[in-house]
Chains A and B, each alone.
Chain A
Amino acid sequence: EPEVTQTPSHQVTQMGQEVILRCVPISNHLYFYWYRQILGQKVEFLVSFYNNEISEKSEIFDDQFSVERPDGSNFTLKIRSTKLEDSAMYFCASSKPGQLYNEQFFGPGTRLTVL
């Protein structure tokens, strides 16, 4: 069964460093999402992406964040200069068009720790 994959599973970085979190969505999916979950808190929407551009973003998704689909398979989230408060689990999700509801399939997450 196809699934969304994310790498790395855990990333540790120093404050101020840039990080890139990688996701491989399900191959025939066209809508892509990033969500964030700070430890012990709820899952929060960051951004949705379609047709090589951002469709919607939350207030969390400020200028420090960017997303890209550099090739036909990867979908990345970049944080330019990490802060301590960026420490969280980051989930990628994807969905395909053509249905009444575009069910989102979640990846296993990347745990980001900023020291």
Chain B
Amino acid sequence: AQKVTQAQTEISVVEKEDVTLDCVYETRDTTYYLFWYKQPPSGELVFLIRRNSFDEQNEISGRYSWNFQKSTSSFNFTITASQVVDSAVYFCALSLNTGFQKLVFGTGTRLLVSP
């Protein structure tokens, strides 16, 4: 079975601080996909990034960066120079490459960025 663990329940930072959200996953499959979603207070799920298990290149998109390490089964997300608008719940998720590819979500990390 697949499992995603986000050990950080809530993180509070002050604007302009960098913050890293941790994600550890478990799966026996060799082909899988990892995701990060943002859920702002309005409640919708906003897709941020997808990585497949064969691509361990780190990725940077503006203030966001992702560090995928298969050796430690981790897919961590860093926000550089955080802003108040980054305040949200962030979910890490896993999907296999078989069947209809349901998403297995972690429990989420609530990020509070204060001015």
Chain A residues near B (Cβ < 8 Å)? 31, 33, 35, 41-45, 48, 50, 55-56, 89, 91, 95, 100-106, 108-109, 111
Contacts and interface: CB of A to CB of B under 8 A. Distances in A.
B103 to A, nearest CB: 7
Interface of B is mostly: loop
Most buried by A among B43, B44, B45, B52: B45
Contact of A41 (B101, B104, B107): B107
Contact of A55 (B47, B100, B104): B100
B100 A102 contact: yes
A106 B46 CA distance: 8
A109 B102 CA distance: 17
Contact of B50 (A33, A101, A108): A101
Given A42-B105, A103-B47, 7 more contacts: A43-B93, A48-B100, A55-B99, A56-B100, A101-B95, A109-B43, A111-B43
A31 B100 contact: yes
Interface string B85-115: 0000001010101011111111110000000
A79 B86 CA distance: 35
Interface of B: 33, 43-45, 47, 50, 52, 91, 93, 95, 97, 99-108
Given A41-B107, A106-B45, A109-B44, A101 B100 contact: no
A106 B48 CA distance: 12
Contacts of B106: 42
